[in-house]
Structure 1
Amino acid sequence: MQGDLTADVPGPSGVYTRRLAQDRHYCTPDGSPLVLSGRSLMLFRSVGWHMSSDAVLDDESKPIAESILDVAVASAIALHDIKGLGRFRNSKAGSIYIVRPKMHGPEEVALSADLFSEVENMLDLASGTLKMGLMDEERRTSVNLAACLYAARERVFFINTGFLDRTGDEIHTDMKAGAVVRKGDMKQARWMAAYEQRNVAIGLACGLRDRAQIGKGMWAMPDRMADMLATKGAQLDAGASTAWVPSPTAATLHALHYHMTDVRHMQVLLSRVQPLPVAELLALPLEEDVTRWSEAEIAAELDTNLQGILGYVVRWVDMGIGCSKVPDLNGVGLMEDRATLRIASQHIGNWLVHGIVTSGQVEKAMHRMAAIVDAQNADVPGYRPLLDDMDGPAYRAAQELVFEGASQPCGYTEEILHRYRRIAKTRDCGSRAGVLAA
């Protein structure tokens, strides 16, 4: 917000300093000046309502909702921009842009809107300064998207689908209904097609065209840029005016798609298309005949999920890394975060509930996958091998995420992750204290 952030980055010809880019000045054909921002518009992504923080305690000495802390502190920081105290301006309109994830229906959206109003009052900001990005990634929001938009109608600048969290919530909601399809088949499920189409159709029907962005999900493979360039343009054809990408390089390449497709024209055409029936959105992604899965297919599905869980959890719990590029079973780097962890743990939890796999199978596969994860991280500084510490917090967290997944509220992973991260930090502090004492 102040514009003076720099970072020294090692490069092939030595260390160079990365800093915020200056604005770009051009001369138009008629001779008038044109100034384009050298920087992307900065958004702030808060946590969901389900998370709490003991950084601040209420009158009863209980942790407060972390969302309150997030929005209050982010808005206070953004005052540098609102008051013009920095070298650059982020918002040309004098707004603060806050993306709100994991909201369940219009009541929680309204609660967020009320929070925004309270923070505006606290900081003496004009009503409507805080703009809301609404993540459509929980079933109750998907089913009631128009009502959610209405609940924040004075603030919405952005809506976006999120395949991984939305699928995690779908599996958890359907947990007792039957065995869900294999994870790779989820993208072809009826509910998924309806989810993506309805998000655009309802957004357009509610007047977002030319007023707010309609987004689609993340490209998760940072090293597969050619594949991204070949396929991600389809999201623009489906009406998306923005989409998540995992790096500045990916963003630069994805920008080419907006030169190939006139998104506004596509949205005009799509505005004539009605949202798919809500019954399609509620079609359960259950496997009709689980006997068609071979033992090898079931084992492969289990291995893929467990390797992803362990690869992410060991970094989150032991090293405090919240989102990173984690190699999959084939060595392809995938962007992993709590959403990917949610779907993988819920998927195994569902298959345990319906007897597709047994706890013994899971334990054996987890041990085998731990060996693979250890080999993949052998050269990572500070890495603590899972197989050397199977009673340690990382391995135990992975076990709990899988075996207790069906009982976690909405299938969320944060309670388990935070608890074991605290154990890991306490243990590390104890080890350092012991060394100092010696």
Structure 2
Amino acid sequence: MNEYLDRAGLKVAQVLVHFIEQEALPGTEISANVFWTGFASLLRELCPQDRELLNKRKKLQREIDMWHKSRFNKPHDHEAYKEFLIEIGYLIEEGPNFKIKTKNIDPEIALILGPQLVVPATNARYALNAANARWGSLYDCLYGTDAMGGPPTSDGYDRGHGARVVARARVFLDTAFPIEGLSHADANRYHIQEGKLMVNDKPLVEPKKFVGYKGVMKW
């Protein structure tokens, strides 16, 4: 059975407390007290709005279900259905152009293109998939897009394009995550040793840049 700990008036699962305080926060210059206090404040502010929106969604769904049931076995009337959705507030008129004014959003959300999956946090597998969606393959990104001047020219695997992708990826890795005395072009083994990434048994020049991995610890 999971144990719960008190954090800023919240009852938080011990495993989540451990993850936040021991894995997520170190290196961010944000203390556990600042995080939990801010998180609790957000919950107090936003949970009532969330409940209100959920109740509105239930009401809309109930009215839509009733509309369909009342027309069982009748041909679909697109215009009548659209008029009904407008009447209950499900559809609204398109407004003028606008810009989102929210500030202090992480670059991964505000500026960097990539998958952003919305999932229920109560489903661990879905949540992990959503988090890992931001960690796609560098090879796939370079090969399947116009990042290098144009996508592959053939329906099958374009060997020339693929070779250029591999070379470009290794140059990027050498620039962003250099290895002591080694190039990623010469790497044939990546593994975890005492919590650090080792490449051909050599460490990164800046070990702190290693923040996560997929797969087994050693291979």
TM-score (norm 1): 0.18
Q: Report which structure shows greater RCO (CA 8 Å, sep ≥6).
A: 1
Normalised by the length of structure 2, the TM-score is 0.31
